[in-house]
Structures are given as structure tokens and as C-alpha cells.
């Protein structure tokens, strides 16, 4: 399988993440990319290809234009306002405040456009987010052009990014951008299967009222886990989208027997939908030693997971999401991809 990769994804080098009450070096770090590339090479997964530039039109097909302009300007505006450190929101349009008035001041804007506070903005964030969606789109075009499967080594990840919100380490929703482009270039139906530990709230948000994208997500129960405010089993879609959103929240401590039963259920739903393309939002933060997550998958389980995904028999685009056990991220990711190819 080909891997698509861009060094520009490493232009985001944030210094801070709000972790509990402390500022720490971000878990979502550029070294994650190097570790995965090293494993792809060492294991001989296949050729590594560079990316093409697709500009912002595919981003604007799923995200709000003012949101995209905000991301482009945020670091500059923060510095120009004389604020120190990296932008972190300290107030939101929470319940009982107005959510329909976008502030002019950057300290208000970050609260308007952030869905969480852990994710600092920094000088290279916008460029890295652009590179990340170019990785996704380059890998997508390979799948569409050849019918072969492909892996897009996206970074920063995307699945928490909603129509007009960033957070959970995500800025542009790479999977949604790729799904929309597939539809715009001839696909009739796309399925997105999200196996990251965290619920893909952004992807759900973007396609919630649509029946041309089936969204399935297996994740830590939001009663216990980030993003806390979306990802329950009773969220099944709205309007035309009713029945085309499917959440599988699982308890903290879930290990592979239960997780893989759930995966099989999701694969059955995929097969019923008969999509033209499957996009897998690949998070390996389900790993037992992930520092911020609580499932208990072992490295070999990712191989088995890849083998099960193969059973769906669909043209498949793998896009990287989370995974923060940096020493094992390459092994776990390539296990999944090579299990699929076996």
C-alpha cells in the first residue's frame, strides 16, 4: 500500500497543551510522523509518495469560510494584541451567553471558534493543517484513480474539527474533506469508519443531516471521555441523515474481544450501505499504553483489526487521526495497514 506524506505537516510545533491544570508539551507532536514513516520504511509497507497542493476550495466545501480565515490569522492577531504564550481560550459562548455574535478581539474569537482548550494555536498551525488535508486528498486521488487502497499520514489529525470549530488537536477535518471531494468527483455514497479512541464529533457534525455519508464511530463513552458532549448511542442523524450516523460508545478499560465484536457489527452496517468508498479514520490511541486514553488494545490486535477491515471488501482510504504512545505508534499503525494487506 502507498503512504502519502508531507514534511510540511511538521510545521505545527506548538509548545503548550492544557492538560488538567498544567501546561505540558503537546501529546500530538511532530515526532509522531517520523515514527510512522520509519516503521513504514522498515516494514516495507510500500512506497512513500509526496503530495499535491489542492488549495482551500476542498476545505471550504465542508468548513465555514470565516472559520478558515480565523485560523489563518489567529496567531498574528494574538501577537498583535500583545497577548503572551500560545492562544488558549478562556471564555466561550456557553449556555446563557450569545452564540450568534462573533467578537472582534482575538481573545473572544478563540473562544468562539474553539470547542476545547487543550489545543494551542501557533505560528505554523495553518500551514500544517493545509499540508494535512493535502495528504488526505493526494491519497484519496490515488484510490479514485487506481482502485488501490492508500494510507494518508495526516497530521494534525482532523476528526474533532467541526464545520466552524477546532479542538482535540484538530483544525481541518481531513476525512470529511476527502469524503466530500469523493462525492464531488463522482462517488454516490461514502462511509467513514472512525476507530480512533475518541468520538469523531467533527465528522458527525459535518454529515449529521446527510444520507450520502454514513458515519460509524467506535470510541470511549462520552460520559467518561473526551469530547464529553457528543458521541452517545442515541445520536442517529437528523432529517435526511436519520439512520446514517452510528455511535458505539464503549466503557473505559474495553479490551480487544469486546472492541472487535463491535468492529464486526460496524463492518456489517458498512456492507449493508454499499458505499463506493470507505474512509477509515485511524487512531491507534486505543492502544493499552496510550498516555491519554483508556482502552486496552495490544499491538497484535491492530493486525487483526486490519484483517477484519479487509473483509468489508471496499476501496479503502486510511487517514491518520490520533495515537500518542509515540514509541509504539509506528508499529501499531503499520500492524493495522499490513494486516489489511495480508
The C-alpha atoms of residue 263 and residue 246 are separated, in whole angstroms, by 12
How far apart (Å, rounded) are the C-alpha atoms in residues 188 and 313?
17
Q: Does 169 bind ligand Q9C (CB under 6 A)?
A: yes
Q: Which of 58, 227, 237, 283 binds Zn ion (CB under 5 A)?
A: 283
Tell me the β-bridge partners of 86.
none
Do the beta carbons of residue 37 and residue 160 sit within 8 Å?
Answer: no
318 has which bridge partners?
151, 280
Interface residue with Zn ion among 141, 205, 221, 285 (CB under 5 A) is 285
Interaction pattern, residues 287-326, with Zn ion; x per rule: CB under 5 A = -----------------------------------x----
Is 160 marked active-site?
yes
Binding status of residue 283 toward ligand Q9C by CB under 6 A: yes
- Contact by Cβ (8 Å): 39, 333: yes
**196 near ligand Q9C (CB under 6 A):** yes
Does residue 117 bind ligand Q9C (CB under 6 A)?
no
Q: Taking the CB of residue 342, how many other CB atoms lie within 10 A of it?
A: 8
Q: Across the strands, what pairs with 170? A: 167
118 binding ligand Q9C? (CB under 6 A): yes
Among 117, 163, 255, 292, indicate the residue that binds ligand Q9C (CB under 6 A).
292
Give me the half-sphere count of Cα atoms (radius 13 Å) on the Cβ side of residue 245. 26
* Stretch in the footprint of ligand Q9C (CB under 6 A) among 157-165, 204-212, 305-313, 330-338: 157-165
User: What minimum distance in Å lies between the beta carbon of 225 and ligand Q9C?
Assistant: 9
CA 3, distance to chain mean position in Å, is 17
The residue annotated as part of the active site, out of 160, 198, 199, 219, is: 160
The entry of Zn ion, ligand Q9C, none near residue 19 (CB within 5 to 8 angstroms by kind) is: ligand Q9C
How far apart are the C-alpha atoms of 267 and 265, rounded to whole Å?
A: 5
| # binding residues, ligand Q9C (CB under 6 A) | 17
Q: Which has the closest alpha carbon to 332: 295, 291, 282?
A: 282
Q: Name the minimum Å distance from CB 29 to ligand Q9C.
A: 12
Q: Can you read off the three cell numbers belonging to residue 171?
A: 483544525
Rounded to 5 degrees, φ, ψ at 171 are -125, -55
User: Which of ligand Q9C, Zn ion, none sits in contact with 226, Cβ below 5 to 8 A by type?
Assistant: ligand Q9C
- 168 within 8 A of 211, measured Cβ to Cβ: no
Q: Residue length, the chain?
A: 342
Q: Helix 174-184 and helix 125-146: axis angle, to 10°? A: 40
* 86, 134, 205, 285: residue in contact with ligand Q9C (rule CB under 6 A): 285
Q: Which residues contact 155 (CB under 8 A, 6 or more apart)?
A: 9, 10, 12, 28, 30, 32, 33, 128, 132, 135, 320
Read off the DSSP letter of residue 291. T
Residues 150-209 that bind Zn ion (CB under 5 A): 196-198
Residue 200 C-alpha cell reads as 469523531
Restricted to residues 52-71, the positions that interact with ligand Q9C (CB under 6 A) are none
For residues 51 and 294, which CB has a smaller minimum distance to Zn ion in the complex?
294
168 binds, among ligand Q9C, Zn ion, none (CB under 5 to 8 A by kind): ligand Q9C
Residues near ligand Q9C (CB under 6 A) are: 17, 19, 118, 157, 159-160, 168-170, 196, 198, 226, 283, 285, 292, 321-322
For Zn ion, the binding residues (CB under 5 A) are 196-198, 283, 285, 322
What are the residue numbers of the active site? 160
Amino acid at each position: 500500500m502507498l503512504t502519502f506524506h508531507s514534511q510540511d505537516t511538521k510545521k505545527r510545533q506548538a509548545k503548550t497543551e492544557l492538560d488538567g491544570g498544567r501546561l505540558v508539551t503537546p501529546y500530538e507532536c511532530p515526532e509522531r510522523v517520523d515514527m510512522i514513516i520509519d516503521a513504514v520504511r522498515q516494514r516495507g509497507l510500500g512506497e512513500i509518495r509526496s503530495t499535491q497542493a489542492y488549495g482551500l476550495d476542498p476545505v471550504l466545501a465542508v468548513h465555514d469560510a470565516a472559520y478558515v480565515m480565523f485560523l489563518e490569522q489567529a496567531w498574528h492577531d494574538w501577537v498583535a494584541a500583545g497577548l503572551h504564550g500560545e492562544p488558549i481560550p478562556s471564555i466561550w459562548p456557553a449556555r446563557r451567553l450569545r452564540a450568534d455574535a462573533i467578537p472582534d478581539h482575538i481573545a473572544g474569537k478563540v473562544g468562539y471558534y474553539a470547542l476545547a482548550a487543550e489545543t494551542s494555536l501557533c505560528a505554523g498551525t495553518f500551514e500544517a493543517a493545509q499540508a494535512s488535508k493535502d495528504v488526505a486528498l493526494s491519497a484519496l486521488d490515488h484510490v479514485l484513480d487506481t482502485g488501490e487502497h492508500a494510507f494518508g499520514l495526516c497530521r494534525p489529525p482532523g476528526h474533532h474539527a467541526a464545520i466552524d470549530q477546532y479542538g482535540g488537536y484538530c483544525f481541518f477535518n481531513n476525512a470529511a474533506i476527502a469524503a466530500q471531494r469523493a462525492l464531488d468527483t463522482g462517488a454516490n455514497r461514502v462511509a467513514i469508519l472512525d476507530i480512533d479512541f475518541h468520538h469523531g464529533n467533527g465528522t458527525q457534525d459535518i454529515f449529521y443531516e446527510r444520507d450520502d455519508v454514513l458515519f460509524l464511530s467506535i470510541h470511549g463513552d462520552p460520559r467518561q471521555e473526551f469530547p464529553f458532549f457528543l458521541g452517545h448511542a442515541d445520536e442517529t442523524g437528523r432529517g435526511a441523515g436519520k439512520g446514517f450516523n452510528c455511535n458505539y460508545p464503549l466503557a473505559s478499560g474495553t479490551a480487544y474481544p469486546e472492541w472487535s465484536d463491535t468492529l464486526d457489527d460496524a463492518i456489517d452496517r458498512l456492507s449493508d450501505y454499499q458505499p463506493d468508498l470507505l474512509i477509515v479514520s485511524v487512531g491507534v490511541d486505543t492502544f493499552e499504553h496510550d498516555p491519554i486514553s483508556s482502552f486496552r488494545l495490544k499491538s497484535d490486535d491492530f493486525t487483526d483489526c486490519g484483517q477484519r477491515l479487509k473483509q468489508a471488501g471496499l476501496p479503502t482510504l486510511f487517514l491518520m487521526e490520533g495515537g500518542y504512545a509515540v514509541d509504539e505508534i509506528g508499529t501499531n499503525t503499520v500492524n493495522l495497514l499490513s494486516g489489511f494487506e495480508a
